[in-house]
Amino acid sequence: MQEPQALLFPASSRLVAEASRQRPSFDRTVRQLLLLSLMAIGAVNAEPLRLLGPADLEQAVRLREQALQSDLAFELVESLVTEVGPRSAGSAGDASAVAWAVAKLKALGFPEVRAEAVPLRAWQRGDAHAHLTAPFPQPVVMTALGNSVATPKEGINAEIAYYSDLAALKADSSDRASGKIVYIDQKTERSRTGSGYGKAVAARTEGPSEAAKRGALAFALRSIGTDHDRLAHTGATSYQEGIRAIPAVAVSNPDADLIARLSLQPRYQGRPVKMHLSLASEGGIAATSHNVIAEIPGSSAPEEVVMIGAHLDSWDLGQGAIDDGAGVAIVTAAAKLVLDSGLKPRRTLRVVLFANEENGFDGTKSYAAKYRNQRHHFVGESDFGAGLVWRFQSRVRAEALPVVAQIAAQLAPLGIAAGDNQANPGPDAGYLMRLHGWPALELSQDGSDYFDWHHTANDTLDKIDPLKLRQNVAAWAVMVWLAGQSPVAFGSMDLK
């Protein structure tokens, strides 16, 4: 027997069948929605509820069904990765991406499109090489971490000081790391939410300075990724002020396994593991990128902004398809559906394609400074690949929770469960939420395989399923339309 949503919404039936294995039952979703509404009613002392009306709910259904029939998002990401490709901040590819985005948004008919300059300091990777010299000569697949300083021209030849994780390095008060290449072997756990990345990423950002404090010559770590491919994962690192900056690299997981075997297996004890490392990276290059912005002016409350975003830049190793070409395409396609509906949103709908999320958050910081005094009804971001959306969460004041429950009910036919009121809306949007106290909404994607390809040369278009991309666009279109039409404010400038 078909699920109720398959009968009511025929365009979504095939998608829901695919999503059903990973979503809660329909009854459980309904129970969650009822509980959320009751909690909200209690939180406002049972005052009369202000809810979305039938016309707005019917429009959400139309948007959802239209999105499930459209391949605009896939066409956009295909165009971006084919015509532009890698686009690290401050590079020629980055400039091409900005020009591409402005042209696309104008061609799609958005009434207001602009590019706002973002000054930054760019970093260039340069040539890099590593190999083990002892106890057995072996090539090592590696890549420099973003912002890494270069080695001397002749490279670095040193013994590896092995640590199981960042905590072990921090706990070491000896001189074992002095004059060596510190290596951290922390593995990234696979999870739908990406929590494994959150646990591992501190080794990348803090490790080089912790190693330098202990006299290390260089720093290396196991790639922060869940794959078993011989591909290294890059990503930004940082240097603590007042601590000497040392070269920093990530090695592929198979090569990390090799280093672990040589360091830990009893038969190799007493035979130091040594590495030659050479990097020609350069940082601090003055450059300019842009936040690209498209708007649909609001009808009755144009001074209030619904901001949905993604980041336009990518790392230089792959095509930037899942990180974050998919997000660029999803939010753009969702806004285009609202634009083409012929119905003007109550609040101004703003699509922001941020500059340099990957290596400095310069675009977000620029946006935060420029628009700090503008009331944002909510912020949201798509920056977790192209997996199916499985959960909807909010971070709004209690009075708005009944409207959130209405939105969740319209997302349920897409296989999306209602979450809690502790949303984490993505890196750029999350920064804005925390800095300014702006309300936020989150559409959680399934990231089970995201970190197989994240920040690698394998971030390519073939990793994107057009069907799953349609579901994302449908979810964003429903959420953006209904949240933007809410008769209740989601928060205020001092919401924390």
β-strand partners of 89: none
Are the C-beta atoms of 100 and 320 separated by less than 8 Å? no
Are the C-beta atoms of 439 and 397 separated by less than 8 Å? yes
Range of the domain at 158: 126-280
CATH for 330:
3.40.630.10
* Residues 89 and 156 reside in one and the same domain: no
Q: What is the model's pLDDT at position 89? A: 98
Helix intervals (H) in 52-91: 54-67, 72-83
pLDDT tens, 8-55? 334 444 444 444 444 444 445 444 554 555 454 444 445 678 999 999
Instruction: Flag whether pLDDT at 213 surpasses 50.
Output: yes
DSSP, res 384: B
* Contacts by 100-105, CB closer than 8 A, 24 or more apart: 101/292, 101/312, 101/328, 101/353, 102/292, 104/76, 104/79, 104/332, 105/292, 105/294, 105/332, 105/351
- Whole-Å CA distances, 234 to 115, 142, 160, 290, 385: 28, 9, 20, 23, 17
Residue 119: name the closest of 348, 349, 365, 328 by CA.
365
The C-alpha atoms of residue 22 and residue 129 are separated, in whole angstroms, by 42
Q: Which of 224, 249, 280 is the last residue of a domain?
A: 280
Task: Name the average pLDDT for the chain.
Answer: 92
Are the C-beta atoms of 98 and 115 separated by less than 8 Å? yes
Q: What is the model's pLDDT at position 80? A: 98
Q: What is the model's pLDDT at position 81? A: 98
* Residues 73 and 222 reside in one and the same domain: no
* Residues 406 and 427 reside in one and the same domain: yes
Share of residues in the chain with pLDDT > 70 (%): 90
Lowest-confidence segment of 22-36, 141-155, 221-235, 265-279 by average pLDDT: 22-36
Residue 385: name the closest of 448, 447, 444 by CA.
447
pLDDT tens, 395-434? 999 999 999 999 999 999 999 999 999 999 999 999 999 9
Q: Is residue 155 part of a domain?
A: yes
CA 34 to chain centre: 31
pLDDT tens, 298-351? 999 999 999 999 999 999 999 999 999 999 999 999 999 999 999 999 999 999
Q: Is residue 68 part of a domain?
A: yes
Q: What is the model's pLDDT at position 49? A: 82
The C-alpha atoms of residue 414 and residue 17 are separated, in whole angstroms, by 10
Strands across the sheet containing 218-222: 138-139, 128-134, 274-279, 156-163, 181-184, 218-222, 248-251, 142-144
DSSP calls for 189-217: PP-SS-HHHHHHHHHHHHHHHHHHHTT-S
Q: What is the model's pLDDT at position 35? A: 53
* Residues 257 and 312 reside in one and the same domain: no
**Token pair 């994107």: residue:** 464
The C-alpha atoms of residue 287 and residue 124 are separated, in whole angstroms, by 12
* Phi, psi angles (nearest 5°) of residue 416: -110, 125
Strand (E) or helix (H) holding 427: helix 427-436
**Token pair 């490790």: residue:** 207
Tell if the pTM clears 0.85, that is, is over it.
Answer: yes
Q: What is the model's pLDDT at position 352? A: 98
Q: What is the model's pLDDT at position 205? A: 97
Q: What is the model's pLDDT at position 282? A: 97
The C-alpha atoms of residue 275 and residue 180 are separated, in whole angstroms, by 9
> How many separate domains does the chain show?
2
* Residues 239 and 109 reside in one and the same domain: no
Q: What is the mean pLDDT of residues 438-450?
A: 98
Residue 360 in tokens: 């400095």
Q: Which of 280, 303, 323 is the last residue of a domain?
A: 280
Q: Is residue 491 part of a domain?
A: no
